[in-house]
Amino acid sequence: MSAEEKVSKEQAYGADQIQVLEGLEAVRKRPGMYIGTTSERGLHHLVWEIVDNSIDEALAGYCDKIQIIIEKDNSITVIDNGRGIPVDIQKKTGKPALEVIMTVLHAGGKFGGDSYKVSGGLHGVGASVVNALSSSLDVYVHRDGNIYYLGFEKGVPQGKIETVGETDITGTKTQFKPDAEIFTESTEFNFDLLEQRVRELAFLNKGVTVSLEDKRTDAEPVAFHYEGGISSYVEFINRNREVLHEPFYSESEDEQIIVEVAIQYNDGFASNIYSFANNIHTYEGGSHESGFKSGLTRVINDYARKNNMFKESDPNLKR
């Protein structure tokens, strides 16, 4: 590298650093713009932003275990057995991928790579926002036989990545403590609230074990793992009802869009449809849900007509 090249590279690096610091400052100044609210809900949202990255690693096929631990001091540890966040220097930024993921806003789409972030939190803003809103955040990466460490305070890296040991596993461990200066209402995590979503994530991501442990109490950790995925979910929803059959299940893919459906009728007359898109419960439905309803109604009507289950004069079933 020539002297000029070196200077221009250093300037680019300096400009980059300023952008990062400005980004972190923007998040801390208006956290609501990034996580919706700094209430209990926003506090818990931080957990899902970190867990989503592990879920994405699971969706990519590299991770089948995610552990969430509420520590005694109400910090949160998330451990996955994925590939480990890359620590090598990125060409584009001249910085380690790990540092970029943890400090650059919207390093979504995913982490500036060519794959897209699939699992979405409510706002899908990523680890850097959690980092900015945490008094401390520590990442340990197990990768290539080494354990790498990088620590942050209020999003700012406290040094360079260090090698702190050797390992024969791969994965990422992130521990963060939400900043009490930001979460002024409460920095205490609610086990039941976390457990509900942990169970849901396990139903929605079949084969992935998601566990939750509360070190503030001496309760046993809970772990959820459903080989049946959303089929297990409908069985769970119907657990206190008379069911009429085993769940019907179908999965298909078209133009990289994967659709999964599980149906199980019970002896009641109320219909409950739960729809999700990218792991997010779409409470108000949408074209995915209404399209499904129309399709199901049409198929049932066609079947019933063809098999003379209606009288000629009977109207079709309505959706």
Would you tell me which residues interact with ligand 0RA (CB under 6 A)? 53-54, 57, 80, 82-86, 110-113, 115, 172
CB of 85 to ligand 0RA, least distance (A): 4
CB of 314 to ligand 0RA, least distance (A): 54
Whichever of 85 and 132 has its CB closer to ligand 0RA, that residue is 85
Whichever of 95 and 110 has its CB closer to ligand 0RA, that residue is 110
What's the one-letter identity of residue 5?
Answer: E
Give the chain's length: 319
CB of 48 to ligand 0RA, least distance (A): 13
Whichever of 61 and 159 has its CB closer to ligand 0RA, that residue is 61
Whichever of 24 and 98 has its CB closer to ligand 0RA, that residue is 98
Residue 307 CA to residue 304 CA, distance in Å, equals 5
Cβ neighbors of 2 (< 8 A, separation 6 or more) are: none
CB of 214 to ligand 0RA, least distance (A): 22
Residue closest to ligand 0RA when measured from CB atoms: 113
Q: What is the DSSP letter of 75?
A: -
Residue 58 CA to residue 81 CA, distance in Å, equals 9
Contact (Cβ atoms closer than 8 angstroms) between residue 42 and residue 183: yes
Nearest C-alpha neighbor of 86 from the set 20, 161, 191, 16: 161
Cβ neighbors of 310 (< 8 A, separation 6 or more) are: 304, 316
Whichever of 83 and 225 has its CB closer to ligand 0RA, that residue is 83
CB of 115 to ligand 0RA, least distance (A): 4
Angle at 314 between CA 313 and CA 315, to 5 degrees: 115
CB of 284 to ligand 0RA, least distance (A): 30
Residue 200 CA to residue 51 CA, distance in Å, equals 13
Whichever of 85 and 125 has its CB closer to ligand 0RA, that residue is 85
Phi, psi of 281 (to 5 degrees): -70, 120
